[in-house]
């Protein structure tokens, strides 16, 4: 399977309260606003960069 076609299920595990504004903006750009909210994205380089930036607040599963 091509790396670009891999779907990722991203879940927000920590609250946005007290989070730096830069990190909040990245999470909102991913579509995550509430705890335990899940979104599905393809594994593009930009999405992978956002995941790396916020890895301490989210969990990622391959679909």
Could you report the per-residue pLDDT of 22-47, keeping only the tens digit for each? Answer: 999 999 999 999 999 999 999 999 99
In this predicted model, what pLDDT tens digit does every residue of 4-15 receive, in sequence order?
Answer: 689 999 999 999
pTM above the 0.85 mark?
yes
Residue 2 has pLDDT above 90, yes or no: no
Give 41's strand partners.
8
Extended beta strands in the chain, E state: 7-12, 38-42, 58-62
Q: Does domain 3-62 have CATH number 3.30.499.10?
A: no
Distance of alpha carbon 28 from alpha carbon 57, whole angstroms: 13
What are the structural domain ranges in the chain?
3-62
């Amino acid at each position: 399977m091509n790396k670009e076609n891999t779907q990722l299920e991203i879940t927000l595990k920590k609250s946005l309260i007290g989070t730096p504004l830069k990190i909040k903006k990245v999470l909102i750009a991913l579509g995550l606003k509430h705890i335990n909210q899940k979104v599905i994205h393809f594994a593009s380089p930009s999405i992978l960069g956002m995941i790396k930036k916020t890895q301490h607040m989210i969990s990622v599963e391959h679909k």
